[in-house]
């Protein structure tokens, strides 16, 4: 287990179905769990009664970006080395937290992304295509490629959490923080293969439908990223630079049921995504 002290930040919007399970899993790995309820109109908050967590409630919906900002501000009040974010819908496995933290220990001052590379066939095809397109655009803005730039399970070093003026609401925030960390701090990302769970494939009713709207949200992310690329300039050299730096994968093996026999027991390597 990593020696890093982390706060786990969980944005939540209408997550009554699985939020208690998610938080209990997070508490197994951190005593600093912060849930941001983004104006839910179901029993999300009631499901958290009696748990030793910090609950921040937005009276109205402000979007995931503002939820993460609120969580970061609260976490920075504490003596933590960084923040681990995860979604409240049960898509991410808390058992993957130690793997992300081990990668963070091996790669100090890096963002660690839980990349949904395991059992990718479970991911809806339209989500997979949207993710790959987003990866392409964000690479152009950062100057290097990242496996799964849309994943919400990440470790952020304290210095990244403290960045001011990270733009964007909703899912755009998670794109811009990668760009701003690279541009302003020189911070890069390393990815850890994880498995995600989705509604469908026999799991209907166990998970809510994603808040991510592929066409709408991808358009907003793409428009924002393209704006960043043009603002920074050096468009062609930056693209060439990004293509020279494939995603870096730190695969320390899976936890529990997510074991992948192809895991390489802690090695870090470059990953070349498919076309």
Instruction: Say if residue 257's pLDDT is above 60.
Output: no
Instruction: Say if residue 165's pLDDT is above 60.
Output: yes
What are the domain boundaries of the chain?
6-270
Instruction: Say if residue 190's pLDDT is above 60.
Output: yes
Question: What are the φ/ψ torsions at residue 121 (nearest 5 degrees)?
Answer: -65, -20
Bridge partners (DSSP) of residue 82 are 6, 157
CA separation for the pair 183, 23 (Å, rounded): 33
Indicate the burial class of 187 (C-beta count within 10 angstroms; 0-12, 13-18, 19 or more): buried
Instruction: Say if residue 259's pLDDT is above 60.
Output: no
Task: Enter the pTM of the model.
Answer: 0.81
Residue with tokens 């002290």: 5
Joined together, the tokens standing for residue 8 give 């786990």
CA separation for the pair 243, 207 (Å, rounded): 36
Instruction: Say if residue 55's pLDDT is above 90.
Output: yes
The residue count for the chain? 275
Is pLDDT larger for residue 173 or for residue 128?
Answer: 173
Q: Please state, as a whole number, how many other Cβ atoms lie within 10 Å of the Cβ of residue 95.
A: 17
Tens of pLDDT along 16-51?
A: 999 999 999 999 999 999 999 999 999 999 999 999
Instruction: Say if residue 104's pLDDT is above 70.
Output: yes
Which CATH code, of 3.90.550.10, 3.40.50.300, 3.40.50.1370, 3.40.50.740, is assigned to 6-270?
3.90.550.10
Instruction: Rounding to the nearest 10 degrees, give the CA dihedral for residues 156, 223, 229, 225.
Output: 10
CA separation for the pair 38, 17 (Å, rounded): 15
pLDDT at 200: 54
3-state secondary structure of 41: coil
């Amino acid at each position: 287990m990593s020696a890093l002290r982390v706060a786990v930040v969980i944005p939540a919007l209408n997550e009554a179905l699985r939020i208690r399970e998610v938080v209990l899993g997070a508490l197994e790995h951190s005593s600093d769990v912060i849930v941001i309820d983004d104006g839910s109109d179901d029993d999300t908050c009631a499901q958290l009664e009696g748990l030793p967590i910090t609950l921040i409630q937005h009276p109205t919906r402000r979007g995931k970006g503002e939820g993460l900002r609120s969580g970061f501000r609260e976490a920075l009040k504490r003596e933590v080395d960084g923040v681990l974010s995860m979604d409240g819908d049960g898509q991410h496995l808390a058992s993957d937290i130690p793997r992300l933290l081990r990668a963070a220990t091996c790669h100090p001052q890096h963002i660690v992304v839980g990349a949904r590379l395991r059992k990718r066939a479970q991911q809806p095809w339209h989500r997979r295509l949207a993710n790959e397109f987003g990866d392409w655009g964000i690479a152009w803005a950062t100057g290097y490629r990242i496996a799964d730039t849309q994943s919400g399970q990440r470790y952020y070093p304290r210095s990244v959490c403290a960045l001011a003026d990270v733009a964007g609401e909703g899912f755009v925030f998670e794109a811009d923080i990668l760009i701003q960390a690279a541009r302003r701090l020189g911070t890069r990302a390393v990815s850890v293969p994880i498995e995600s769970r989705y509604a469908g494939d026999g799991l209907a009713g166990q998970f809510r439908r994603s808040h991510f709207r592929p066409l709408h949200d991808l358009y907003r992310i793409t428009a924002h990223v393209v704006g960043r690329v043009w603002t920074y300039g050096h468009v062609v050299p930056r693209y060439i630079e990004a293509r020279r730096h494939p995603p870096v994968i730190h695969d320390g093996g899976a936890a529990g049921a997510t074991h992948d026999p192809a895991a390489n027991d802690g090695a870090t390597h470059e990953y070349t995504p498919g076309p």
